[in-house]
Homo-oligomer: A and B are copies of this chain.
Amino acid sequence: MIHLLIADDHPIVRTGLVALLGSEDDFEIVGEASDADAAVEAAERLNPDVVLMDLQFGAAGNATGAHATRRIRSLEAPPYVLVLTNYDSDADILAAVEAGASGYLLKDAPPHELVAAVRAAAAGESALAPVIASRLLDRMRAPHASLSSRELEVLELVAAGRSNAEIAATLFVGETTVKSHLAHIFSKLDATSRTAAVSTARRRGILR
């Protein structure tokens, strides 16, 4: 019997997952969580085998699914975490994998793929949606144009229209550091300004 915890801020999605997965004979849904903090708490208390984790949680909290994943994976005897999200941006994928996710699925995945991924995760295997797997392979093949996670973090804030000073404050670093990251980003993306970098990153699918 595989014990599942479902963490998603959309009631509709939670209901759908419960209906889809609950009908499998060897699955048992032991809990649901509607935000990142509740997910961590529930994972600790209910001791599930696999956590289905959304990456985007509404404005309710500021903790993201990636944060929650990291915290869950640092519990003792942690459950496997299967990330389930809408988008396939490099930034999200990288953040999730680094946080210790066992798999990365898109919400438009067909049910059988979802079920298979849960079984794989419960067995300790990795389960990546085909789209995601090929994207990761692309990244392996062309390591030169890949940004570090910190650089992505900076670039996302740049794309949101924040100034260097604001970004520095958000990330708790000096403005010099932000400019340094940006210089590396410009070099990697072959851009000479922040807006050009954002444009290139969007075109290449690095940002969504």
Chain A residues with CB under 8 Å of chain B are 9-20, 58, 86, 107-111, 114, 158-163, 191, 193-200
Contacts and interface: CB of A to CB of B under 8 A. Distances in A.
What 6 A-B pairs have minimum CB-CB distances, sorted nearest first? A161-B196, A16-B16, A15-B16, A161-B199, A12-B16, A19-B19
B198 A12 contact: no
A2 to B, nearest CB: 18
Contact of A161 (B110, B162, B191): B191
A12 B20 CA distance: 7
A155 B194 CA distance: 15
Nearest to A60: B108
Contacts of A197: 161
Contact of A12 (B107, B193, B194, B195): B107
Nearest to A34: B108
A194 B196 CA distance: 11
A108 B58 contact: yes
A106 to B, nearest CB: 9
Residue of A16, A19, A107, A196 with highest tally of chain B CB at under 10 A:
A16
A15 B16 CA distance: 5
Contact of A158 (B11, B14, B195): B195
